Amino acid sequence: MEEVIKGTLMIIGGAEDKKNDCIILNKLIDLANMRKGNIIILTAATEYPERTAKEYINTFKNLGATDIKAIHIQSRQDANNINECREISQASCIYMTGGDQLRITSIMGGTRAQQALYRAFENGAIIAGTSAGASVMSETMITSGNDDDAPKKCTLKMAPGLGLLRDVVIDQHFAQRGRIGRLLTAIAQNPHMLGIGIDEDTGLVISDDSVFEVVGSHAVTVIDGSHSDYSNVSELKPDEILAITNVVMHVLPAGYKYNVRYRKPIT
């Protein structure tokens, strides 16, 4: 697998702790402080940008961050604002909030803001995202699908993501919403991709060595379908159940690592 990672990604499964130990967000602040320490909060995913940004700004300040700014990209006109895009490209850390991942791609796709995000990443910035901001990291993203249900072809919808992490598909709120069925369906349709399901208050940090480490209070589930020897996904009719065999699965709690390039857990 050929990776394009140059900066660092922090991919969070949603509902991260903002009041107690704040393990994930403390880790994010530490990573940002290893650079220049300036943090940009991108609210493109949410319909409530002011409220969402205020919550994160207060949380980050309580954790010791001092240079924080929210940029509200709510339209494609906003996404082509030269001054704000310059700030994005020069940021040490860019944090994408939750909401709807299709809002991010439909508003930012092909704009100066998307290019600024890529430039920041290529220059070594931390790109972090929670919930919708996590799903959008991959080349192909899940946009919707039934929770807590048997895997079915007709219930899953996918779309292009930002492509910061290639040959991977990410799902979030994973264990809490019973999303293993829809991730298995995504892998059956795209067996070359690695499926990564991230629980709430859990994240992974991946840098240019293509190894991610799990942080937080729950687990990351990795599904590798590259060696699967059978699937009926191409013959399925609406509402029929998926069949797939010889899929490899790993469940990794905090402190465990996984090599994305070689598809090997590091225990």
Question: Do residues 211 and 220 touch, judged by C-beta distance below 8 A?
Answer: no
Distance CA 174, CA 221 (A): 8
Distance CA 265, CA 259 (A): 6
Distance CA 215, CA 202 (A): 6
Global confidence as pTM? 0.95
Residue 249 CA, chain-centre distance (Å), reads: 19
- Paired with 178 in beta bridges are none
* Tokens describing residue 28: 């994010």
List the domains of the chain with CATH numbers: 8-266 (3.40.50.880)
Residue 57 CA, chain-centre distance (Å), reads: 20
Question: Do residues 45 and 103 touch, judged by C-beta distance below 8 A?
Answer: yes
User: Exposed, middle or buried: residue 144 (CB in 10 Å: 0-12, 13-18, 19+)?
Assistant: middle
Render pLDDT for 188-212 as a digit per residue (tens, 0 to 9). Answer: 999 999 999 999 999 999 987 799 9
The type of residue at 195 is: G
| Average pLDDT over every residue of 45-61 | 98
Question: What is the predicted pLDDT for the residue at 238?
Answer: 74
Question: What is the predicted pLDDT for the residue at 1?
Answer: 38
Render pLDDT for 213-240 as a digit per residue (tens, 0 to 9). Answer: 999 999 999 999 999 999 999 888 878 8
Q: In sequence order, what are the residues at sequence separation of 6 or more whose Cβ sits closer than 8 angstroms to the Cβ of residue 234?
A: none
* Tokens describing residue 11: 């991919």
Q: pLDDT band for position 11 (50/70/90)?
A: very high
Pairing verdict, β 157-160 and 140-144: antiparallel
* Tokens describing residue 101: 């991942």
Over 90: is that where the pLDDT of 154 sits?
no
Render pLDDT for 88-144 as a digit per residue (tens, 0 to 9). Answer: 999 999 999 999 999 999 999 999 999 999 999 999 999 999 999 999 999 999 999
Q: In sequence order, what are the residues at sequence separation of 6 or more whose Cβ sits closer than 8 angstroms to the Cβ of residue 59?
A: 18, 22, 25
Distance CA 98, CA 241 (A): 30
Question: Do residues 72 and 84 touch, judged by C-beta distance below 8 A?
Answer: no
Question: Do residues 40 and 158 touch, judged by C-beta distance below 8 A?
Answer: no
Closest to 169 in 3D by CA, of 143, 148, 141 = 141
Question: What is the predicted pLDDT for the residue at 21?
Answer: 96
Question: Do residues 229 and 37 touch, judged by C-beta distance below 8 A?
Answer: no
